[in-house]
A = this chain, B = another copy of it.
Amino acid sequence: MNSISMNSTATRTSALSGGHDGAPMTPEQLEAELRAIGASRYHILHPFHKLLHSGRLNRCQVQAWALNRFYYQAMIPIKDASILARMEDPELRRIWRQRIVDHDGENAGDGGIERWLMLTDGLGFRRDYVTSLQGLLPATRFAVDAYVHFVREKPMLEAIASSLTEMFSPAIISERVSGMLKNYDFISEKTLAYFGKRLTQAPRDADFALAYVKENARTPAEQAAVCDALRFKCNVLWAQLDALNHAYVEEGQIPPGAWQPGEAVAAVAA
C-alpha cells in the first residue's frame, strides 16, 4: 500500500516531451510540457465554461457559479499566505506577498475578493449569505480546501507550480467577459470588474512562477512533480465546474443543504 499517498496526484506517467532515457528536460521543454497540460486539462475546455460564456445558462445557473466560485476567491489569499509562511527567502516573499495584496486590497472595499462580491451583488445575492458559505456545494469546498492543503504539505517547488494555471487565465477571462457581457442582460462591466484586474495581475504572477519552476526543477523527478502539480490544480478547477454542472445544469441534482435557486437573493435585480 505504499503507493497510496494523500493528495498525490498519482497521474499516469506523462509522456514527457523531452529527456528520453531519464535525462532531464531543458527549461524550454519543461515549459512546452506545462503548456501541453494546460491545452488538454485547463477548465476552458469544460462544458460548463462553454455554456457560461455562450449565454446558454439561465440567471440561476450563473448565480450558482458566482456563489460557489466566491469560496475559491476567498481562499486564494489563505493559499498564498500558506506559501508565504514557508518561504525562507525575503526576496521571494516580497514578490509573493503582492498576490495577497491583490486579493485582499490595500484597504477595505478594495481587492479581488471585494470585486467578486460586486459580481454576487449584481446577481442579487445578500452579501451575508455569500460570505456565510452556507449554500456552497460540498464538492466546491472539498476541491478548494484540497488546493490549500496541497500548498501546505507539498515541497515549495510544487506549491509554486500549482499556481501555473494562471498561464492560461487570460484566454478564459477574455472569453468569459466578452461572452457574458454580450449574452446576459443581468451582467455589466461593473459586475465583471474582477476580471479586468486579473488580465494584468495573472500574467505577471504566472511569468514569475514559470521562471521559478524552469530554474528550480532540474531533475526528471522534480520536473515530473511540477507537471503533476499543474495537473492537480487543473483537477481542482475542473472538479468545481463538474459539481456545478451536475447540481444546476444537467441533472438538477442539488445536494442536501446547498443553495436552491431563488434563495437568499436580496431583490429581483435587473
Contacts and interface: CB of A to CB of B under 8 A. Distances in A.
Contacts of A100: none
A250 B246 CA distance: 9
A92 interface: no
B235 A138 contact: yes
B134 A12 contact: yes
Contacts of A142: 139, 142-143, 145-146, 236, 239
A210 interface: no
A242 B239 contact: no
A75 interface: yes
A-B interface, 8 closest residue pairs, ranked by CB to CB distance from nearest: A138-B235, A142-B142, A246-B246, A10-B133, A142-B146, A41-B256, A139-B239, A138-B239
Looking at chain A's contact residues, the main secondary structure is helix
A160 to B, nearest CB: 21
Interface string A1-33: 101101110111000000000000000000000
A52 to B, nearest CB: 15
A234 B138 CA distance: 10
Nearest to A246: B246
A242 B255 contact: yes
Given A146-B145, A246-B245, A40 B4 contact: no
A113 B143 CA distance: 25
A84 to B, nearest CB: 17
A56 interface: no
13 contacts: A3-B133, A6-B145, A6-B148, A12-B134, A41-B257, A138-B143, A138-B236, A139-B142, A139-B239, A142-B146, A142-B236, A235-B257, A251-B251
Interface string A130-148: 0111101011011101101
Number of copies: 2
B146 A141 contact: yes
A154 interface: no
Interface of A: 1, 3-4, 6-8, 10-12, 40-41, 47, 71, 74-75, 78, 113, 131-134, 136, 138-139, 141-143, 145-146, 148-149, 231, 234-236, 238-239, 242-243, 245-247, 250-251, 253, 255-257
A173 B242 CA distance: 28
A32 to B, nearest CB: 18
A242 B139 contact: yes
A237 B139 CA distance: 11
A8 B257 CA distance: 14
B133 A139 contact: no
B253 A47 contact: yes
